[in-house]
Amino acid sequence: MKTIKNKFIIGIMGLGLLGLNACTENLEEINTDLNFPEVVPTNMIFSEANRMFVDNTRDGWWSARMTLPWMQYSAQLAYTEEDSYQYRETQTTNGWNIIYRQTQNLKSIIDFCENPETSVQMAAYGNLDNQIAASRVMLAYMFDQLASHFGDIPYWSYGTTDPDFQALQIDEYLQPKYAPQSKVYADILKELKEASEQFNTSEPVFTSGDNIYGGDAVKWKKFANSLRLRIANRIKSVYPEANSHINDAIASGVFTSNADNAVHSFYSSSTEASPFWQTFFVDNRTDFATNSEFINLLKGESGDYGVDPRLQKMAAPIGVEPADVTSGNYSETSDLSQYKGMPYGLPAGRVADNGVVGLTSFVSAEILSPTYGEVLMEYSEVEFLLSEVNNWSQSNYEAGVRASMEKWGVAPSAIDAYVANLPAANMEHVITQKYIALYMQPQEAWCEYRRTGYPDGDILLLPGGTGNELNGDPYVFVPMMSGNVIATDIPYRVRYPQSELNTNANNYNDAVQAMGGADEINVKLWWDVN
């Protein structure tokens, strides 16, 4: 048997990547365990990598205990110190490790597709160029998640040889350097452009195993362009070349309807169900309610938008418990008093009187469903991006609101009435409406807040701001110490895992020094110049 250069495979049951023993030239036969083949089909690797990534970034930890509450979509009925920025180090450590494991899996797809000894076999699972292109898109998405949370990161590029890009190459770099964010993002844009151009839209990406687009190369191409538009728009203030990427991504074809939305599908069995459903019904964590600040916005009690008909689609009435929500055993109501969010950032002594199941609204039946699809990016966001690109275009702004409401199943007459009363498009209104549309996509909402400062303190409860308990009593939101600082704003980043300091100390220290000398939540990222 010949030597296979790629030294990574994925375990069938999601055990990650295992090292292969290289065969010698004189060894003709070896004992083979058929339950763990040396080369796993690439469609299975792709399915597992995406599933594990979404499961562990939209779950009860990475999302529900950090960015969902920080962006005030949700609030916890217990462990409220995490809402006040004192998160547990295991949350970020687990996220870091899991995402890097899945980027390694995606790289293995590319290696198998390009290796002459395995490419013929892998061609049976989809067009080889398409498999590589889709893997590049998801690598870009995952590396963006890492960079937008931590800052400088170990990074790997398919198409760029740069001595700073040392990740995912353990034969050469057991302790990889941290690449500067400026290099990481410039390369992500390049990767997305090349991936878009690499897709052969007349052939499937994968014959099976694609739980995002079902192998549709046309939609994958649009996703690559739309994701490039998102990221280029985010960094345009610090990276002038981003503007050419914005124009090229639009010209190359971005999302044009909700049919293009990048949504990871889930199924009804407990082992294949959506991560938020598993949080509630497998892990028995029913301590996540909707946030009072978000409910107030949807009820028209803050902002300039009036009552939002998405309220009933996004939240359940008070008194409805999770089991009733997931079974759909409740009725939507126009009585706004039946929708109340959990007060956010309460003083510790006031949590018990407010964090009571039945007094606040849980998320809606659609969200708390085992088959709820997790959105990676959607058409409404593209319209809001186009509004910004087109100097805060009113038509794109309204189209973004319509697209979001249509996705949530709002009645056309209610959509028309809401859109007719929208305030004129400007940065504040477009970004605030984008914030509503990004419900359950808190990571991107967090990026937009850091980039623009919206929604502002008129809508969000920021440190030092005054909120109200369920009984109307006022209180002041005072964050807790996180690391060595008490934040004066929503955190700008999260700290690197302690394991990096233990196992990759020199490169960790270099990265911290490059970002200002402190591994703290109040250190701004490269593109955060607001």
Q: In whole angstroms, what is the distance from residue 441 CA to residue 451 CA? A: 16
3-state secondary structure of 339: coil
Please indicate, yes or no, if residue 310 is contained in any of the structural domains.
Answer: yes
CB 308 within 8 A of CB 418: yes
Residue 363: inside a domain, yes or no?
Answer: yes
The β-bridge partners of 74 are 290
272's tokens? 């294949």
**Would 195 be classed as within a structural domain?**
no
487 alpha-carbon distance from chain centroid: 23
CB 461 within 8 Å of CB 59: no
**Dihedral sign from CA coordinates of 102, 108, 113, 119:** negative
Question: Is 306 contained in some domain?
Answer: yes
Q: Is residue 140 part of a domain?
A: no
H or E segment to which residue 466 belongs: strand 466-468
Cα 519 to chain centroid, rounded:
22
Per-residue pLDDT tens digits of the chain, which is 530 residues long? 333 334 343 333 333 333 333 333 333 343 444 454 568 999 999 999 999 999 999 999 999 999 999 999 999 998 899 999 999 999 999 999 999 999 999 999 999 999 999 999 999 999 999 999 999 999 999 999 999 999 999 999 999 999 999 999 999 999 999 999 999 999 999 999 999 999 999 999 999 999 999 999 999 999 999 999 999 999 999 999 999 999 999 999 999 999 999 999 999 998 899 999 999 999 989 889 999 999 999 999 999 999 999 999 999 999 988 888 878 789 999 999 999 999 999 988 888 888 888 899 999 999 999 999 999 999 999 999 999 999 999 999 999 999 999 999 999 999 999 999 999 999 999 999 999 999 999 999 999 999 999 999 999 999 999 999 999 999 999 999 999 999 999 999 999 999 999 999 999 999 999 999 999 999 999 999 98
How many independent structural domains does the chain possess? 1
Please indicate, yes or no, if residue 295 is contained in any of the structural domains: yes
348: domain range?
Answer: 275-372
Tell me, yes or no, whether 327 lies in a domain.
Answer: yes
331 within some domain: yes
Answer yes or no: are the C-beta atoms of 400 and 254 closer than 8 Å: no
337 contacts 470 by C-beta, under 8 angstroms: no
DSSP annotation of 361 = P
Residue reference for tokens 């889709």 = 134
> Model's pTM, two decimal places?
0.93
Tell me the three state secondary structure of residue 110. Answer: helix
d(CA 341, CA 352) in angstroms, rounded, equals 15
Residues 6+ apart with CB under 8 A from 341: 75, 289, 290, 291, 292, 293, 294, 295, 296, 315, 360, 361
Please state the φ and ψ torsions of residue 108, each to the nearest 5 degrees: -65, -30
The angle formed by the CA atoms of residues 145, 148 and 154, to the nearest 5 degrees, is 75
